[in-house]
Amino acid sequence: MADEYEIASELDLKGLQCPMPMVRVSQEMARVPVGSVVKAVATDPACKADITAWARLTGNQVLSVDEVDGAITLLVKRLG
C-alpha cells in the first residue's frame, strides 16, 4: 500500500508505548505540508486505535493500517 503514495516522512516508532506513537505522529504531521503522507512503523498494538482516533478528531486521514510480524505500518495523510 505504501507504494501507492509519495511518502513525505517516515517514523520508526518501534518499542515506544502508548501514547508516544500517537504523540510522535502528531508532531510530525505538524511539520509536513498539507496533503503529505507520513509513514509510521510501530510495535505497540494500541497505536492502531490511538492514531486512527487522533486522525479522526484532528481532520486527518489514516490511509492504511497493515501488520506484519508484529510491526504495524500506518500511512497517515495530513488534510488540514
Supply the residues annotated as catalytic: 18
- Spatial distance between the Cα atoms of 4 and 68, rounded to a whole number of angstroms: 18
Provide the 10 A C-beta neighbour count for residue 71: 13
- Spatial distance between the Cα atoms of 6 and 49, rounded to a whole number of angstroms: 24
N-to-C CA span, the chain: 22
